A and B are shown apart, each in its own frame.
Chain A
Amino acid sequence: MDTARQEGSEVAVAAQGTGDAAASPPAGRRRPTFFPTHLTARFAILGVWAAMIAVYAGTEPDLFPHTGTFQTIFGSQYALVFMTMALMCTIVVGEFVDLSVPAVFGFGATILPVLVVNHGWNVWPAAILAVVACVLVGALNGFLVVKLHVNTIVVTLGMSTLLEGISLWMSDLNTISGLPSGFQRIALLDVGGLPISFYYGIILVLGFGYLLAFTPLGRHMRFVGASREVSRLSGVRVDRIRFGSFVFAGLLSGVGAVIAVAAIGGYNPTTSDSYLLPTFAAVFLGTAIFEPGRFNPLGTLVGIYFLETGILGLQLLGLEAWVSQVFYGGVLVIAVTISTLLHRRAT
């Protein structure tokens, strides 16, 4: 072989070229996509959800299958819906973990009652100020991460702790309550058996879903999340979109905070922490629903109610508060594992 070179090689090369052409087409289709598998993957969690409801209904026929139970499940998660969508903003554009979402939410939710109750502000300007404060925090996060290239985890972890501290200071470690009762209506107005805040959540999720699926901005966001370099070279203003996502995350946290405060009638800043895991659990669980392996708002919404159903059922069974941690933690790990595997199989 060593001896036949130079001239001989060209013939050999050309021959291999033909081989290439002949060999490559059949290699193209090895594993045909099997539609039913896809379908089951997409809707598996819905099935599990239905099964879970059936099991609870069977084991607790007196407690679980009541309108009240479902009113609780669907009527109590508005804060989480806003926080998950805030987290979604940054996660979609590839900023993997904005840990500050619950803290920004708590910050807004503390400012509002503190201004109204302790400082005698009118509730509306206080609400606006709370939202503006959250937007500014989002902008600061965005500035540090996008412009100064500081690590997202470090920035948001620090910001989260900082804001929680400030919130505790503002509130003097107390629950602040005593907002004017009329303010409640913006969150708890009864519409068809559910509080209006449930519908806010639905509108927000549908709007976000629409944005991602059908608008140029949403398409750009998806691409920035998939690859910054590809987006940049395709004329997408990558940094502007990343920065905007942080700002918008702040806005959603702020609006969510105002609605939550209206519903509760006040806020206890020590509770902000408890939202962190549920927020992440629902967003990641969402990647196993509807669009396997991809963060999507509708899947996240289902994830929220799925988690709440599981926990409520277990609590009705008589299990204590630790149940929620076990459930959130367990589901987070399992769901992300499953969605990762599904995604790997799909590509």
Chain B
Amino acid sequence: MSVSQAEAAGTGQQQHRLEVASVYKTFGSARVLRDIGLRIAPGELHGLVGQNGCGKSTLVKILTGIYTPDPGGAITVDGRALSLPVRPLEARAAGLSVVHQNLGLVDDRTVWENVRLGRFKAAGRFSRRIDGRAERAAVEAVFAKLGAQVDVNEKVGELSAEDRAAVAIARAMQDHEPGGGLIIFDESTRAMGKAARGRFFALVRSVIDGGASVLMISHQLEEVIGVTDRVTVMRDGQVVETGIPAKEIDEAGLTRLMLGRHLVTHSRIDSHAQPEVAAEVRDLVVRSVNGLDLDVQKGEIVGLTGLVGSGAVAVAEAIGGAREARAGILTVNGRNLTLKARRGSTEEFIRAGVAFVAERRLEQGLAADLSVTQNLTLPRVRSRGGRFRTGGGWQAEETAAMIRKLDIKPPDPHKAVGTLSGGNQQKVLLGKWLAGKPGLLVLHEPTQAVDVGARHDIIDAIREAAAGGCGVVISSVDAADLAVICDRVLVFRDGAVTAELSGDLTQDDIIHATFGLPGEKAGAQQTAQDSELDSKGVAR
């Protein structure tokens, strides 16, 4: 080890605080990380962005030793290679620490206990007790270094959001050598309000001023651009681009990188929309959305998009029956479904012809242990099967038809769904609902984390459903997808529809409308339309 250190010192006048080189990770047959390379300079605030499922979390789990990377990669801190899998104690000695999404604090324990957790020293030789005074003094010193004023004897549960963050930061930085260390913030600001964030970033800055580096993972692009020095973008398990100076890029640019230019697998085709209404939503109140009306024509494909918390997702989930709304009525095939009622299952929705393709396919969509056939036919075993017999014929038929239509691989109806690749799982999930010939198909991120081929098949299948007269609602942040499939895109912001795009859609128009930036072409009409729509957030 000393040799490599000497080498590094000899060759590099510019040594990296953290260097990740050719890290791969495979789960079963799925490769989730591919050739990850990342360099963070000392004293740098580095942002890492990417869509859900792009591999950010997997990378963090490798850096913290939860996952073992495939053999061959290297992770170096200050020129010293860490053994792989990363051993937590070694990582700590190297100054590498992580602040997780929920900050990892124990609410009913004091600040000093939380900071020292996992580091308590037994003071007495025989009593092995914890020397509270020494521990508290050590914690106070850390806070002094951080420039934060927190009462170390207070229970963490009683602290404000920003003080809680300070505690988490103190815990992460306490082992740092002067002028060293790296803290990874994994979506740490998610639960913080605007004001708390301001103080949080001031603390992060003071950590940086002490010579440490920070890797900040965040979905808030605006924030990433505002506070970081450089940004790395990941997509589909790969680093798309690394070390982009934050000053030279804007949110739209980052989004474009995150989503990528998919291969143009589909050209826009004529709408299948018919003049007949497939589904009506009236007075939907859910999350930040307050009174939305929406009509979906038969054969029409409507996209819902917006930033996190804009309400687009909540609307889709409420219409699909997955989320309980505060008010609202959905009419499909002449049946009125109240969106407010508390219900144990979506049975009513399914009988009315509503199908909901959930985002998290293995938590909400499919049971990994059960077979393709069992998963695919689940919503209909009762209606199509006899009371005392599910009946094999229709199941085999349905499954075979969907395997053919969606090109599910391997084409084995008895294989456990969990053994399929992500793209094929997504196809099974889509097939599960398409086989029921729904009148309204609601999809949430239907092409997330699937490969190009699967995306092609999925888009084809959605279009085919629309051509057959099904009304389709797609909630997605993937502007490229929306531009390709949708007849109409509603852009949400803070619970209201701020733009309705239709006609010749382009990815850029959607991204601009999402971020509220003045668009190049469509922008002008859009803003004009905004104000009319704003009051009640509607469409058609």
Contacts and interface: CB of A to CB of B under 8 A. Distances in A.
Interface of A: 1-2, 5-6, 9-10, 12-14, 16-18, 20-21, 23-25, 27-31, 214-216, 218-220, 222-223, 226-227, 229-240, 293-294, 346-347
Contact of B364 (A1, A13, A229): A229
Contacts of A237: 344-345, 347
Contacts of B409: 28
B245 to A, nearest CB: 7
A233 B365 contact: yes
B382 A216 contact: yes
Nearest to B367: A226
A28 B451 CA distance: 12
B84 interface: no
A13 B346 contact: no
B389 interface: yes
Contact of B242 (A1, A229, A232, A347): A1
23 contacts: A1-B242, A1-B243, A2-B243, A6-B249, A9-B241, A12-B240, A13-B240, A17-B452, A18-B263, A23-B31, A24-B423, A25-B453, A27-B31, A215-B385, A220-B378, A223-B374, A227-B367, A229-B364, A230-B366, A231-B378, A233-B320, A235-B349, A236-B347
Q: Which of A218, A234, A235, A346 has the most CB of B within 10 A?
A: A234
B311 interface: no
Interface stretch (B115-123, B289-297, B414-422): B414-422
Interface stretch (B172-180, B254-262, B526-534): B254-262
Nearest to B379: A234
Contacts of B388: 214-215
Given A17-B263, A21-B452, 14 more contacts: A12-B240, A13-B261, A16-B236, A20-B452, A21-B263, A23-B31, A27-B421, A214-B390, A218-B390, A219-B381, A222-B367, A233-B321, A233-B364, A235-B349
Q: Is the interface of B mostly helix, strand, loop or mixed?
A: mixed
A235 B346 contact: yes
Interface residues of B, number: 65
Contacts of B363: 227, 229-230
A235 B382 CA distance: 10
Nearest to B320: A233
A88 to B, nearest CB: 17
B356 interface: yes
Nearest to A294: B369
Q: Which of B31, B346, B378, B410 has the most CB of A within 10 A?
A: B378
A5 B240 CA distance: 10
A226 B369 contact: yes
Contacts of B253: 6
Contacts of A226: 367-370
Contact of B367 (A12, A17, A223, A239): A223
B263 to A, nearest CB: 5
A245 B382 CA distance: 18
A150 to B, nearest CB: 18
Contacts of A239: 344
Interface string B253-276: 100110011110000000000000
Nearest to B262: A17
Contacts of B379: 234-235
B345 A232 contact: yes
B502 to A, nearest CB: 26
A77 B539 CA distance: 68
B238 interface: yes
Interface string B374-393: 10001101100111111000
B264 to A, nearest CB: 9
Nearest to A18: B263
A235 B368 contact: no
Interface of B: 26, 28-31, 235-236, 238, 240-245, 248-249, 253, 256-257, 260-263, 320-322, 344-347, 349-351, 356, 358, 363-370, 374, 378-379, 381-382, 385-390, 409-410, 416, 418-419, 421, 423, 432, 451-453
B29 A223 contact: no
B369 A17 contact: no
A29 B411 CA distance: 12
Contact of B30 (A27, A31, A215): A27
A234 B261 contact: no
Contact of B381 (A216, A227, A230, A293): A216
A2 B263 contact: no
A287 B102 CA distance: 37
9 closest A-B pairs by CB: A226-B367, A235-B347, A235-B350, A216-B381, A13-B260, A216-B382, A216-B385, A21-B452, A24-B451
A275 B363 CA distance: 36
A2 B245 CA distance: 8
A294 B369 CA distance: 9
A227 B263 CA distance: 35
A347 B370 contact: no
Contacts of A238: 344-345
Contacts of A27: 26, 29-31, 421
Contact of B346 (A10, A16, A17, A234): A234
Contacts of A29: 29, 410
Contacts of B378: 219-220, 223, 230-231, 234, 236
Contacts of B453: 21, 24-25
A216 B388 CA distance: 7
A202 B262 CA distance: 58
A20 B385 contact: no
A235 B381 CA distance: 10
A223 B418 CA distance: 14
Contacts of A20: 236, 451-452
Contacts of B345: 231-238
A223 B370 contact: yes
Nearest to B374: A219
A283 to B, nearest CB: 17
B217 to A, nearest CB: 20
A206 to B, nearest CB: 14
A207 to B, nearest CB: 11
A6 B349 CA distance: 45
A30 B257 contact: no
A23 to B, nearest CB: 8
B370 A222 contact: yes
A288 to B, nearest CB: 16
A132 B363 CA distance: 38
